[in-house]
C-alpha cells in the first residue's frame, strides 16, 4: 500500500492489486468457484436428507416440536446459548 500524505487524492492499493479486465476475470472466477462449492454443499445436504427419510432416521415429531419452540421463542435459552458458545470456543481453541 502506498501512503501519499494527508492531502493526497490517491486511494490506497494492495501490493498485488489487479486492474481492469484482470480484476473482472479474477472476481468472476472466484464467484463461479463459490457458487460451485455452495451447490455441492446443498446437493450433499439434500442427498443426506433423502437418505435419512428413506431409512427413517429423521424424527419428524422432534423436528416439528423444535420448529414450534423456535416460532414461539422458547427454544433459545441462556443455557443453550452458553453451551453453544462453549462448544464453539472449544473448536476454535483446539
Residue-wise pLDDT tens digits, 12-34: 555 455 556 666 666 666 666 66
Sign of the four-CA dihedral 55, 42, 94, 78: negative
DSSP 2-63: ----TT--PPP--TT---HHHHHHHHHHHHHHHHHHHHHHHHHHHHHHHHHHHHT---HHHH
In the chain, the N- to C-terminal Cα span, in Å, equals: 34
pLDDT-derived band at 59, boundaries 50, 70, 90: confident
Name which of 2-6, 9-13, 76-80, 86-90 the model is least confident about: 9-13
Q: Which residue has better confidence, 47 or 3?
A: 47
**pLDDT, tens digit, for every residue of 79-91?**
999 999 999 999 9
Q: What is the mean pLDDT of residues 33-58?
A: 74
Amino acid at each position: 500500500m502506498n501512503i501519499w500524505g494527508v492531502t493526497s487524492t490517491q486511494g490506497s492499493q494492495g501490493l498485488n492489486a489487479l486492474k481492469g479486465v484482470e480484476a473482472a476475470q479474477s472476481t468472476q472466477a472466484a464467484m463461479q468457484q463459490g457458487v460451485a462449492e455452495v451447490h455441492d454443499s446443498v446437493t450433499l445436504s439434500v442427498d443426506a436428507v433423502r437418505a435419512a427419510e428413506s431409512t427413517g432416521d429423521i424424527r419428524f415429531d422432534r423436528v416439528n416440536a423444535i420448529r414450534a419452540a423456535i416460532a414461539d421463542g422458547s427454544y433459545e435459552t441462556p443455557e443453550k446459548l452458553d453451551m453453544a458458545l462453549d462448544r464453539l470456543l472449544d473448536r476454535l481453541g483446539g
